[in-house]
Amino acid sequence: MTSRKLGIAIVGIGGAVGTTMVAGIELIKKGLVSTDGLPLAGIADDILVDYGDIVFAGWDVFPDHLAKAAEQHEVLTLKQFAAVEEALRTIKPWPAVADSKFLSNIDGSNHLSMASHRESIDKVKSDLAEFRTTVDSVVVINLASTEKLAAEGNESFNSLADLEKALDDNSKDISPAMLYAYAAIAEGVPYGNFTPSLAADVPALIEFADKQRVPIAGKDGKTGQTFIKTVLAPALRSRSLKVEGWYSTNILGNRDGLALSNEDSLASKLKTKSSVLEDILGYDVEDHIVDIKYYRPRGDNKEAWDNIDISGFLGQPMQLKVNFLCKDSILAAPLAIEIARCLELAQQRGEAGIQEQLSVFFKLPMSKNDKPEHAFHRQEEMLLKWLTKH
């Protein structure tokens, strides 16, 4: 058992996943819930920080303390909410770095009005430095609303020198997600991106993380439909069942769904959700369709349908249907907690740059070569091997 105290600084702490992480750890500390749903519970306990030694802080564009935020998201049961309400009330988000150009339909008042990118970065760095005085180490996890798809191939993102110049020039192409990532890396704080937004995955920030010796991981948490897809697709491949088409659709009604009802944010999400299948199967599935719709009545209870058309021996066609009625934040929060514990361990071990062994947690894993591993069983093997080394 370790006794290091870990501070998780969450970008978007007032969100459904952020508040569920904080509430979940509080409920564990009080002994009111088990560690079910936390995939690393009981694994590498002697080297990962204890769940009871985790504390939280973070930024949000909404100023409400976390009790008010959690009440709005309605993820917790009333009993669970009552048990942690007081603890949640003590956490108030720091003012956020925000830019309506990258996120237009989420509009909160709790944001910085800095004159320059450099000033925003300095403020985020000082928030982190202050938080670090209260714990042994800090990790940043991005759980903010999905931003509009940034210009990925932008030349100023290709090298650290170019990015530094673009920061000095207050380039409008640099998103808040990138500013947070830059600030974390500059401050020597490990950074995990649970969202599809472009952040530490640009070459300039990968170079910066290597230079600063900071572990980074991302992106986009693999929680529901894509999780199941990366379990099923390797099995179909192993049995030589040819995938003729895969139709995936979702409805969700939380704030994440609202952000995704904006076409530009949706484009970011569809990009990370669509890339897995061909890589696993080794051939193109022309009729691979992924769709997400905002549907308010469901709140945080997402429903996902998959229709898979396959053909087998003698060319005979078959179908497989999956209907996953899941709870978005209940699946996501424990993964974000495990990512933070692993990033802390990576830093303890002196590891830096892309942490590919965390691929199992992401839809679009950051990889040191251009072929990320998507198959769930191989990703899991990679993580367990890393956890049990030494």
Q: With contacts defined by CB under 6 A, how many residues of the chain interact with ligand NAD?
A: 36
Out of 16, 48, 163, 290, the only residue in the binding site for ligand NAD (CB under 6 A) is: 16
Query: Can you read off the two tokens belonging to residue 119?
Result: 């000033």
Site for ligand NAD in 308-337 (CB under 6 A): 328-329, 331-332
Indicate whether 103 belongs to the interface with ligand NAD (CB under 6 A): yes
Quick one: which segment of 13-21, 132-140, 159-167, 289-297 binds ligand NAD (CB under 6 A)? 13-21
Token pair for 262: 């904006």
> CA 329 to CA 223: how far, in whole Å?
9
Residue choice 61, 135, 189, 276 for contact with ligand NAD (CB under 6 A) = 61
Of the ranges 42-50, 207-215, 220-228, 309-317, which one interacts with ligand NAD (CB under 6 A)?
Answer: 220-228
Helix, coil or strand: residue 260:
helix
Residue 213: Cβ within 10 Å count: 13
Give the integer Cα–Cα distance in Å for 222 and 214: 23
Query: Binding residue for ligand NAD (CB under 6 A) from 145, 193, 262, 355?
Result: 145
Of 243 and 336, CB closest to ligand NAD: 336
Q: Provide the CB-side half-sphere exposure for 196 (13 A, CA).
A: 24
Write the interaction track for ligand NAD spanning residues 227-256; mark x where CB under 6 A is met and - where it is not: ---------------------------xxx
Residue appearing with tokens 């005979």 = 316
User: Judged by CB under 6 A, which of 54, 84, 128, 143 binds ligand NAD?
Assistant: 143
Among 120, 146, 230, 301, binds ligand NAD (CB under 6 A): 146
For the window 258-277, what string marks contact with ligand NAD as x by the rule CB under 6 A? -x------------------
| Least distance to ligand NAD, CB of residue 342, Å | 17
Phi first, then psi: what are they for 38, rounded to 5°? -95, 105
Q: How far is the CB of 116 from ligand NAD (least distance, A)?
A: 17
Choose between 209 and 292: whose C-beta lies nearer to ligand NAD: 292
| DSSP-derived 3-state class of residue 37 | coil
2 contacts: CB under 8 Å, gap ≥ 6: 46, 47, 48, 49, 50, 53
Phi, psi at residue 245, to the nearest 5°?
-165, 150
| Interface region with ligand NAD, contact rule CB under 6 A, candidates 6-14, 37-45, 182-190, 206-214 | 6-14
Tokens of 97: 């770095």
- The CA dihedral of 319, 320, 323, 324, to the nearest 10 degrees, is -150
- In whole angstroms, how close is the CB of 21 to ligand NAD at the nearest point? 9
Counting contacts by CB under 6 A, is residue 67 touching ligand NAD?
no
Other C-beta atoms closer than 10 Å to the C-beta of 123 total 18
Stretch of 16-24, 229-237, 338-346, 375-383 lying at the interface with ligand NAD (CB under 6 A): 16-24
Interacting residues of 238 by C-beta distance below 8 A, sequence separation 6+: none
Q: Is 40 in the site for ligand NAD (CB under 6 A)?
A: no
Residue 331: CB minimum distance to ligand NAD, A: 5
Q: Tell me the C-alpha to C-alpha distance, in Å, between residue 111 and each of 68, 195, 254.
A: 18, 20, 22
Alpha helices in 169-223 (DSSP H): 176-186, 203-212
Q: Does 60 bind ligand NAD (CB under 6 A)?
A: yes
Q: Based on the shown chain and the rule CB under 6 A, indicate whether residue 221 belongs to the binding site for ligand NAD.
A: yes
7 beta partners: 55, 138
User: 279 to each of 353, 371, 372, how far by Cα in Å?
Assistant: 23, 8, 8
Binding span for ligand NAD by CB under 6 A among 56-64, 119-127, 206-214, 378-386: 56-64
Q: What is the binding site for ligand NAD (CB under 6 A)?
A: 11-12, 14-18, 59-62, 96-98, 103, 106, 108, 143-146, 176, 194-195, 220-221, 223-224, 254-256, 259, 328-329, 331-332
